[in-house]
Chain A
Amino acid sequence: MINLQNTSETINHLLRTFRLLQKVGRKHPEVRKHEILFYQLLEKYFTRILNAREEGNFIATHTTFMPGEILYAMDIVPMQTEWTSWILALFTKRGTDFISEGRRLGLTNEVCSAQRGIAGAFSLGTLPRPDAVIWSNLICNNIAKNGELIMEINRCPGFFLDHPLGDSAAERNYLRGEIEDMIHFLEEQTGRKMDWDHLSDSVAGTMKQIEISRQICELRKAVPSPFHPQEFMEMLTVTYLFQGQPEATEYLEMLYEDLSLSVSEGRGAVSPERFRVMSIFLSPIYRAPFLEKFSQEHGMVSVAEPIFTQWEEGKLDPTRPLDSLVQKLYMLPERSLYSPVGERTLKKIVDCAKEYKADGAIAYADVACQHTCALIKLFKDVLNDIDVPLLILDCDLVDQTVTSEEDMREKLEQFLELLEDR
């Protein structure tokens, strides 16, 4: 029996699982190349974390929307808090332990289980101890307020990157200053200097990834739509973990090729395609296999996730890497949740529903994610105006005890019946 309290045993367990999944995938011709690459990349990411100490590398743990390009350019080993702990929770089945430990630390149910789980995973020693924490307030209070606790648990220094709410010139300038200060902090902590050429290359990589992501979105407009639910989580994972790196570009290119082929052959992700839905917010990570199966059984396909896959307009200029990182943080699809949510975000939701010919929309209402749930009524109203019904599905991103699969199935089936009757 593996001792999952032990970091290296835990990671080795993960690595074995990822290798096995690649092996199984290679034996089955119907498994597409990008699916195998996904596990290969996870293996690579966790191997770097596992070997960091031995190789004398510096580990910086960072929250979701931190510009990871900076870490790669400084040869720092990135450890993304949310995705790393979720992957751990998923593959070790210890999500509940992490969440309970977070509660023991004083993070009561008001704090989303995602952040409780992260603190718990660090506290239990399941995640490796980082050398520094860098975190920000993008995109919620829970992320912002967890940083000091993670610093305390790991007894390591940290840098908080403060995102302004709006996007005036002064606010953009402030964000640029914050990024500069963070680079100075990392230089001091690591004793290394920023490699600006490497940073420019990473920014070019990010621009490339944004372009491919936009092309993938275009492909998803096809009827039938070629994108599987599990591809959404995989795509997010790879682009969050390898920001601006060739690995993410390779993955996206492969995905794009696979989807293009499906479109040219008129093959949809589900057959026959009966319901085109738009997904608002994140679906529970651990229900991805269920959603895949359900989609196949019912001919339901998610055609768009406006808040996660739709980049805002704009370009990055690798010759001006800092300005480009600021620009990227303003172009992030998820940022539309942060700025005062007004006409622009509402228009994005409505346009998306029209352009992707959505029959309905599903809002995954994470029971402790306040700022997302507080938008459901607004989104429901604007979608209602264009006759696109919205299903609210109460759930929890990480805590499996909140909604059962049966509950989800029942609500989804009722919703599809409603769509069918129209």
Chain B
Amino acid sequence: MATDHELQVQRKREVETKEESTMPARLFQPQTDIFETSEALTLVLEMPGVDKGSVEVKVENDVLNIEGRVDFSKYEGLQPLYTEYNVGHYARSFRLSSKIEQEGISAELKDGVMTLVLPKAEKAKARKIKVT
């Protein structure tokens, strides 16, 4: 795949919810790729600054909730001089279109990118229909 085009800045999107959050800090939405194979649904989420122990993935009522927390204590003692982006925890939810085998969900985190594999439940897998 050609990757020689120049990258443009993608502005961080804040989470917009109907309910008001009880804490004043802002949350950000991870940039997400989602693709589906016959076996699973895969989500790839960009959450720079989030380490393995700070992610929470939940499926409730067919809604997938993902939360990633950044360790902002690293910023203590740092005085901002010039900034171009803001930092905060990440959160995003997706309504799932197919049934998921919850126990089989696996997550991998590398260079601030989380790959989440949600295996489809047996009955949600597509059957090949033979034309007779």
The answer to whether A and B assemble together is no
Q: Which residues of A contact B (CB under 8 A)?
A: none
Q: Which residues of B contact A (CB under 8 A)?
A: none
